[in-house]
Amino acid sequence: MSDEVNTAHSRVVLEQPRHWNRWKGRLAWIITSISVVVAITALGANAEYFQKNPKVIEHYHSLSKAARDKIAIVEIRGAIMGGDGFARHQLDQVKVDNAIRAIVLRVDSPGGTVSGSDELHYRIKKLAAERNLPVVVSMGSIAASGGYYVAMANSGQDEIIFAEPSTVTGSIGVIIPHFDFSQLLKRFEILDDSITSGPLKEMLSVTKERSPELAKRERGIVQDLVDEMFNRFKDIVRKGRPKLNEKAIEDVTTGQVFTAQQAIKLGLVDKIGFLEDAISRATTLAGLSEDSVRAVQYKQPQGIFDDLLGGATQARSFNTLEMVVELATPRAWYLCSWWPMLTTNSL
**How far apart (Å, rounded) are the C-alpha atoms in residues 147 and 111?**
4
Q: Of 138, 145, 155, 171, which residue is the catalytic one?
A: 145
* The length of the chain, given as a count of residues: 347
Please indicate whether residue 145 is annotated as part of the active site: yes
Name the pairing type of β-strands 271-272 and 257-259.
unpaired
Contact 106, 299 (CB under 8 A): no
Please indicate whether residue 201 is annotated as part of the active site: yes
Among 182, 184, 204, smallest CA distance to 193 is for 182
- Where residue 113 falls (left for φ over 0; alpha for ψ -120 to 50; beta otherwise) is beta
Contact 222, 176 (CB under 8 A): yes
In our burial notation (b when 16+ CB lie closer than 10 A, e otherwise), range 213-231 reads eeeeebeeebeeebeebbe
| β-bridge partners, 163 | 139, 272
Contact 97, 70 (CB under 8 A): yes
Q: Of 201, 216, 239, 265, which residue is the catalytic one?
A: 201
Positions annotated as catalytic residues are 145, 201
